[in-house]
Amino acid sequence: MTSVQPVKGASGRDGGEVMPFPQSDQHAGSSAQVPHAAEFDWARDSIDIVFETCRAVAIYRNPAGDLVIRQRADWNEEADPTIIIPRDRAELFLLAVRNEVDP
């Protein structure tokens, strides 16, 4: 059994060490290539992605009656990204969204 060493120069969101994904005996002798953590490229290895993250989105009306679209802040954002559609433009906005969804 080999010891697992941290990935050189990499740190996690919390500043801690990033450990490579251990190659199990199940993959030993397999033709499947398990990329080393330092070699993994999100663009190149996109076929390996099985789930994309989707932040929560809320849609509601504010006290003025405007349409508010709010997305939960990501780890590196201080506030939730928010779009406010004026009440008198909501129908036009929805029509534009519908035209993009179903051209």
* 25 and 42 part of one domain: yes
pLDDT value for 1: 45
What confidence tens digit (pLDDT) does each residue in 33-64 have? Answer: 655 666 777 777 777 777 778 889 999 999 99
* 31 and 69 part of one domain: no
* 40 and 61 part of one domain: no
- Work out how many domains the chain is built from and give that number: 2
Q: Give the position of tokens 């330092």.
A: 38
Give the percent of the chain with pLDDT over 70: 63
* 42 and 82 part of one domain: no
* 27 and 46 part of one domain: yes
Domain limits for position 76: 57-101
* 28 and 61 part of one domain: no
* 48 and 61 part of one domain: no
